[in-house]
Amino acid sequence: GDSVTQTEGPVTLSEGTSLTVNCSYETKQYPTLFWYVQYPGEGPQLLFKVPKANEKGSSRGFEATYNKEATSFHLQKASVQESDSAVYYCALSDHSGGSNYKLTFGKGTLLTVTP
Partner 1 sequence: EAAVTQSPRNKVAVTGGKVTLSCNQTNNHNNMYWYRQDTGHGLRLIHYSYGAGSTEKGDIPDGYKASRPSQENFSLILELATPSQTSVYFCASGGDWGVYAEQFFGPGTRLTVL
Residues that bind partner 1 (CB under 8 A): 31-32, 34, 41-46, 49, 51, 89, 93, 95-96, 99-103, 105-108
We find the least distance from the C-beta atom of residue 99 to partner 1, in angstroms, to be: 5
Spatial separation of the C-alpha atoms in residues 6 and 34, rounded to whole Å: 12
CB nearer to partner 1: pick between 10 and 16? 10
Residue 2 C-beta: closest distance to partner 1, Å: 10
Q: Contact, 92 vs 103, CB < 8 A? A: yes
3-state secondary structure of 97: strand
Compare residues 6 and 63 and give the one whose CB is closer to partner 1.
6
CB distance 49 to 37 below 8 Å: no
CB 44 within 8 A of CB 37: yes
Decide whether 16 or 52 has the Cβ nearer to partner 1: 52
CB of 15 to partner 1, least distance (A): 25
Nearer to partner 1 by C-beta: 8 or 82?
8
The CA–CA distances, whole Å, from 49 to 12, 13, 30, 53, 56 equal: 25, 25, 14, 12, 9
Output the smallest distance, CB 45 to partner 1, in A.
7
